[in-house]
Amino acid sequence: QLQLQESGPGLVKPSETLSLTCTVSGGSISSSSYYWGWIRQAPGKGLEWIGSIFYSGYTYYNPSLKSRVTMSVDTSKNQFSLRLSSVTATDTAIYYCARRGGYSGHDDRGYFDYWGQGTLVTVSS
Amino acid sequence: SYVLTQPPSVSVAPGQTARIACGGNNIGRKSVHWYQQKTGQAPVLVIDYDSVRPSGIPERFSGSNSGNTATLIISRVEAGDEADYYCQVWDSSSDLYVFGGGTKVTVL
């Protein structure tokens, strides 16, 4: 059974960089069939996609966050990571990593079928 | 960018049918996916590609998509179905995954 687990600091100071890692177990991150992604949820709010990455390192990001987001992948450790720079209180959220399944095309990029349990990141001084 | 509109809440009695709408401009031309999120838990995919049930999802969950509205249908509702439900599409115009605002389903 595929499992994903987020890890990283639960508290980040304003203007600093949020860094999270997702460890994948029960399957290979190097599968050519899947992308991997980060989604966040502010307290009491809905879901917001942050970005997605392929094992080759190809990425695509939410345009509204693109200037602050960097994602990377480490196939040797079966992990992928998120860095979000210049954080503010509005970046306080539960951050989920997830596997993206389905088609990969211009008009269709599928769904998120496996999710980590999520990790709460609070931005505060 | 593309907007998905969901009713904030839906209430349904046990054993009845819940219908959760997800509105969007010509959404029938897009593929819609649905997630269930119980309190304090990660989302779970319950319907993909408008009406496909992933492995392990009860047959009580179904979906449709036409025109400007996609619908998640939960038949024979149980207390355990109480959760927030989100629809999701890929917006190729903005290169962005879009989620609806979510619908809280309350079982009376």
Token pair of A16, please?
A: 């600093």
pLDDT at A104: 82
**Number of Cβ within a 10 Å radius of residue B78:** 12
Tens digit of pLDDT for each residue in A46-85? Answer: 999 999 999 999 999 999 999 999 999 999 999 999 999 9
- Chain B residues whose CB is inside 8 A of the A109 CB are 90, 97
Out of A48, A108, A117, name the one closest to residue B90 (CB).
Answer: A108
**Number of Cβ within a 10 Å radius of residue A98:** 24
Q: Environment class of residue A35 by beta-carbon count within 10 Å: exposed (0-12), middle (13-18) or buried (19+)? A: buried
Tens digit of pLDDT for each residue in A97-113? Answer: 999 998 888 888 999 99
**Number of Cβ within a 10 Å radius of residue B66:** 11
CA dihedral A80, A85, A90, A91 (to 10 degrees): 10
pLDDT at A107: 82
Tens digit of pLDDT for each residue in A82-92? Answer: 999 999 999 99
Mutate to test the interface with A, among B90, B91, B99, B104 (most CBs of A within 10 A): B90
- Chain B residues whose CB is inside 8 A of the A112 CB are 33, 35, 43, 45, 88
